[in-house]
Amino acid sequence: MAYKKILTIQDISCVGQCSLTVALPILSACGHETCILPSAVLSTHTAGFSGFTFRDLTDDMPAIQAHWQKEGIAFDSIYTGYLGSTKQVGYVKNILDTMGVEGAIKIVDPAFADNGKLYPIFDAEYVNAMKTLCPSADILVPNITEACFLAGVEYKESYDEQYIKGLLSALEELGCSTIVLTGVGYESGKTGVVVYERGQIRYYEHKRIARGCHGTGDVYASAFTGALLNGKDIFTAAKIAADYTVRCIENTQGDPDHWYGVKFETALPDLIKML
């Protein structure tokens, strides 16, 4: 396995097991040099906590990029997650387009919505800004809600394979040639991942755990990226990330005090074995 240098651009929620506090250890455990560009620093994540602090780092991004360019730093892969503003999306698009080595793999996790709704700080303007990242991404990793907002397709709780095919087709029109769509379930008690690659659709189904955990989208995208950079093909990487995420949720069940995140650290040995 070649030693890869990856840049991940996300916020730091100091407590809450999401974003960079998930991506950095998972990617490092996968054997990659993991560089970070924080989009913001929060005392906790925003789901379930009140009175959290927030430090926007948007204005620091151009200077950081300029310093990297002066030093001749470039990355084998760039993976983006939660971004805090439309202005920030523009900076990140420039980084995606200019900071990778030749053949760099660019992965975008939109990270702005779930369960049919936008996260509270986002609006239609932000969704439109996120659409501009799609042509710069080699692989888009949305959940169904994010995919619907990006594609302009009505969100549905119940759907069939034709609905998913239509959603993927609409995303492709935005410039997304390869898509890993998470949270796709056609029957009760099951969910899975749809991989759309060069016009081919493949589906990996696994069990659905009723009590979910915050941050699992970040866990999934990080594990997927780590597996992909270990030489796994896209479908295999998607399966590994799904199995790892399920294991993380299983390891968190039965602990009512751990409501704010997922115990992904306890399953890192399993991820390494899967790789």
**Averaged pLDDT for residues 116-128:** 92
Mean pLDDT of 36-47: 92
Give the residue among 176, 178, 274, 155 at the shortest CA–CA distance from 226: 274
Whether residue 230 contacts residue 31, with contact meaning beta carbons closer than 8 Å, is answered with: yes
Burial class (CB in 10 A: 0-12, 13-18, 19+), 159: middle
**Residue-by-residue DSSP string for 180-203:** EEES--SSTTEEEEEEEETTEEEE
The model's confidence at residue 198, banded by pLDDT at 50, 70 and 90, is confident
pTM of the model: 0.96
Please determine, for residue 211, whether its predicted confidence score (pLDDT) is greater than 80: no
pLDDT higher than 70, residue 122: yes
> Mean of the pLDDT values across residues 65-78?
98
Identify whether the C-beta of residue 8 lies closer than 8 Å to the C-beta of residue 141.
no
DSSP letter assigned to residue 137: -
Average pLDDT of span 147-156: 96
How big is the CA angle at 234 (ends 2 and 114), to the nearest 5 degrees?
120
The residue among 49, 132, 114 whose CA lies nearest residue 140 is 132
The mean per-residue pLDDT over the stretch 100-106 comes to 97
Distances (CA, A) of 227 to 27, 147, 179, 222, 272: 9, 23, 16, 9, 9
Averaged pLDDT for residues 169-186: 94
Domains of the chain and any CATH numbers: 5-274 (3.40.1190.20)
The proportion of the chain whose per-residue pLDDT surpasses 70, expressed as a percent, equals 99
Whether residue 261 contacts residue 16, with contact meaning beta carbons closer than 8 Å, is answered with: yes
Residue 212, pLDDT > 70, answer no
